[in-house]
Amino acid sequence: MQPRSYWLDSTGDPSLGRAEHPQEADVVVLGAGIAGITTAYLLKQAGMTVALIEADDRLAAGVTGHTTAKVTSQHGAMYATLTSSFGPDTARAYGAGQHLAIDWIETEAAAIGAEADLSRRDSYAYVEDESSVPGLRREAGAAAEAGLPAQFVTGTELPFPVAGAVRFTGQAQFHPRRWLLALAARIPGDGSEIVTGTRATGLTEGDPCVVETTSGPVRGRHVVVTTHYPIFDRGVFFARLEPRRDLVVAGPADPDDVPAGMYISTEDRHSIRTTPLDDGRVLVIVGGEPHRVGARTSVARHYDELHAWAQDRLPVREYRYRWLAHDLTTVDSLPYIGRFHPRTRNVWVATGFGHWGMTNGTLAGLLLRDLITGEENPLAGVFDPTRRTVRQSATEFVRANAYVAARLIGDRVDTLATRPGPAALRPGSGRVITAGTRAIAAYRDDEGSLHCLSARCTHLGCLVVFNDAERTWDCPCHASRFDTDGRVLSGPAVRPLPRVAPPE
């Protein structure tokens, strides 16, 4: 299997950015994933100038380029959870927001002629164990009460038996990168720019705000932070987001042999969908093996288990791609879309989309456009980052932060006193080793050279963990990721892990 996302592999990297970055814009948008590109596109349509700044050289190549890309309002057993925690009005508003996003994507794709393999499909949340059926029936009832096209069924097209499923009719799926590159192509011009390969390194709030970047400062009347995990965290988001990830494997099949719908298990989160290939076949995309980012576990072993599950359940001869899907969940399960912190008038944020970034990321663009242009939007309060339901979720808040506190102290780290030093590292492997007061992230490459970095994450100092499948250093606290030379792959960290001398 190629360790590469199909969404990236099947799209080029058109050069939409320019080498020289702009001095100012009405709105500076940080992060060119689905939320950032959609927000910038909509604000430009509303008559504003935008500067969309992306640290990567490519657009939609981070979290958005590594998703399963279901465009659906069915989010596992979300509606039963929201109804029991916060009441039916919140569940109804959440569902309405998702359908707003689906309908906007469909309408806009037709209007601009975007070729993004968009198609309407039914979506299913299923269980295999009879004991899970009552919970699924509750979800069907809560979703229907929230006004969604939900129905409990016992029959599906899956090639294995299920005990029951909730079907949502009329949902959608697409190729996320084709969609976003089509939107992004319409952003530059008339005072708006896309700047790639430029990392934002500082933010001074004011009127205008000033964003420091690796290419120089940019002024903006508004700043929107859509960097997955918010950088310049003024809203204490690091304490109320939990980084999770799922693994994905994908391989080609005959469309007649595999289900046409989109599926997710509410028991173990295995998910299945297809996307069309140019040769008439479909690519079957299978997700699963959810775990917290930076957990002390072998990611390679999780891939083996997902591959075995997929081979056992689906008629796919060969899985050719594998990638990691990263998500942030919030303490009350609702995204944070709105003001960055209670005292700001012109800095905005969108994050915490759970496992459902396609609709929530699109909804973020629609909401932020309205908030910035002063249009009333009845959904704004539900997603406001300072909302009451966040404060109601104190138990989740404490649980998430107890985990982070343990990682800051650095529990269960190998020491030279108890484990062999880096000399014993095999090519392709890495490990955190403490030597005296130093914590060293040691990696040996395939040629046998040793790469030693500080193991303290440059965000808030947690100890990073080696990811043996991707060969990256992942932070278990807030999911910053670094390559084996210390470069930031994803934030909230904005500074690399410093090189250090190997232990004696």
Which residue ranges make up the site for ligand FES (CB under 6 A)? 238, 457, 459-462, 475, 477-478, 480, 492-493
The dihedral through the CA atoms of 453, 458, 461, 464 has a sign that is negative
Q: Give 46's contacts (C-beta < 8 A, 6+ positions apart).
A: 369, 373
Q: Give 406's contacts (C-beta < 8 A, 6+ positions apart).
A: none
Least distance CB 474 / ligand FES (angstroms):
9
Least distance CB 494 / ligand FES (angstroms):
11
Given the structure tokens 């199909």, which residue do they identify? 6
Taking alpha carbons only, the member of 469, 189, 210, 226 closest to residue 338 is 226
- Annotate 279-331 with three-state secondary structure: CCCEEEEEEEEEEECCCCCCHHHHHHHHHHHHHHHCCCCCCCEEEEEEEEEEC
CA distance 17 to 63: 19
Least distance CB 186 / ligand FES (angstroms):
34
Which CB, 307 or 478, lies closer to ligand FES? 478
Which CB, 112 or 239, lies closer to ligand FES? 239
Which CB, 88 or 461, lies closer to ligand FES? 461
Which CB, 369 or 478, lies closer to ligand FES? 478
CA distance 471 to 33: 23
CA distance 231 to 16: 23
Q: Give 188's contacts (C-beta < 8 A, 6+ positions apart).
A: 16, 18, 194
Least distance CB 294 / ligand FES (angstroms):
8
Least distance CB 238 / ligand FES (angstroms):
6
Task: Give the chain's length.
Answer: 504
- Where helices occur in 384-464 by DSSP H, the ranges are 388-392, 394-409
Which CB, 232 or 383, lies closer to ligand FES? 232
Least distance CB 441 / ligand FES (angstroms):
12
Q: What is the DSSP letter of 127?
A: E
Which CB, 369 or 407, lies closer to ligand FES? 407
Query: Packing angle between helix 176-184 and helix 34-45, nearest 10 degrees?
Result: 30
Least distance CB 243 / ligand FES (angstroms):
8
Which CB, 333 or 480, lies closer to ligand FES? 480
Q: What are the backbone angles phi and psi of residue 328, rounded to the nearest 5°?
A: -120, 125
Assess contact for 356 and 75: CB atoms under 8 A: yes
Least distance CB 119 / ligand FES (angstroms):
37
Q: Give 383's contacts (C-beta < 8 A, 6+ positions apart).
A: 97, 334, 335, 336, 337, 338, 363, 367
Assess contact for 371 and 377: CB atoms under 8 A: yes
Which CB, 96 or 479, lies closer to ligand FES? 479
Which CB, 422 or 476, lies closer to ligand FES? 476
Least distance CB 457 / ligand FES (angstroms):
3
Beta-sheet pairing, 50-53 with 193-195: parallel
Assess contact for 367 and 380: CB atoms under 8 A: yes
Decide: helix, strand or coil at residue 390.
Answer: helix
Least distance CB 261 / ligand FES (angstroms):
37
Which CB, 191 or 496, lies closer to ligand FES? 496
Least distance CB 425 / ligand FES (angstroms):
23
Which CB, 55 or 475, lies closer to ligand FES? 475
Query: In Å, how far from its chain's centre is CA 224?
Result: 17
